[in-house]
Amino acid sequence: MIEIKNVSKTYNGKKKVLKNVSFDINSGEIFAFIGHNGAGKTTMIKSIIGILDFEEGDILIDGKSIRKEPIECKKIMAYVPDNPDLYENMKAIDFINFICDIYDVSESKRRENTLKYAKMFEIEDKLNDDIASFSHGMKQKIALIAALSHDPEILIMDEPFVGLDPKAVYDMKEIMRTMAKDGKTIFFSTHILDVAEKLCDRVAIINDGTIVKVGKMKEIKGDESLEQVFLELGEK
């Protein structure tokens, strides 16, 4: 579970990009985070995982503060950024093993998970290739495999479907559904509103650093589509 409590973040002491943000993401839940470019999505995500500090409030990961106990929090989380900026001088399998080493994943578990997800994403024959030779979509698949390799309790992703082919998008959605059924927490930002509408249990909409709506999908959109709700909020 993730608890975001009255979080505010300012850049350079001037621009306030998060304004007293509060909402919870429950275990066993797929939760979408949507907003226009520059609304504060990536800043919020980087604050949750401990990359960015914030001036006010706190973020609790299974009851532990990301500010006070960052290592304990990060042990159970995995993060996939919006731009898979991997170590391009490494082979794909070496990068995955590097992430597994950080999380102290056993040899048997890393082999099992790496093979399972590489087959699912149809790149098992590319694991010994240099990352520098990969397309954006291929790099995204490697980042996802590395994130999933240690069976995280909490999976946080920033625009995870960008660059993926249709089959990989389908497979990733199935992975997310399975994780949620197993009681794990999935939180991701997306601009693909159709995916969020069909996949997620709840959604939060951020606009100019402020949460303007949060709740179950049916509560948020009513008789409208999520796209209509999103566009109407952007006009206000």
Given a contact cutoff of 8 angstroms between Cβ atoms, the answer to whether 21 and 8 are in contact is yes
* pLDDT per position as a tens digit, 9-46: 998 777 889 999 999 999 999 999 988 877 889 999 99
C-alpha torsion sign, points 198, 214, 209, 81: negative
Buried residues in 188-211 as b, exposed as e (16+ CB within 10 A)? bbbeebebbbebbebbbbbbebeb
pLDDT given at position 233: 65
Q: What are phi and psi of 67, to 5 degrees?
A: -80, -35
pTM value? 0.89
Q: Note the pLDDT tens digit of each residue in 129-177.
A: 999 999 889 999 999 999 999 999 999 999 888 888 999 999 999 999 9
The string of pLDDT tens digits covering residues 187-209 is 999 887 778 888 899 999 888 88
Distance CA 227, CA 236 (A): 15
Q: What is the pLDDT of residue 234?
A: 57
Q: How many CB atoms lie within 10 A of CB 121?
A: 23
More reliable by pLDDT, 225 or 143: 143
For the chain, the maximum distance between any two Cα atoms, rounded to a whole number of angstroms, is 53
Res 79: pLDDT:
94
- Please write the tens of the pLDDT for every residue from 59-103: 999 999 999 999 999 999 999 988 877 888 899 999 999 999 999
pLDDT exceeds cutoff 80 at 231: no
Compute the average pLDDT of residues 93-117.
Answer: 94
Query: What is the rounded CA–CA span in Å between residue 221 and residue 211?
Result: 15
Residue 176 has what pLDDT? 95
Query: If you count DSSP H runs as helices and E runs as strands, how many of each does the chain have, helices first?
Result: 9, 10
Q: How far apart are CA 200 and CA 148, in angstroms?
A: 19
State residue 11's pLDDT score: 86
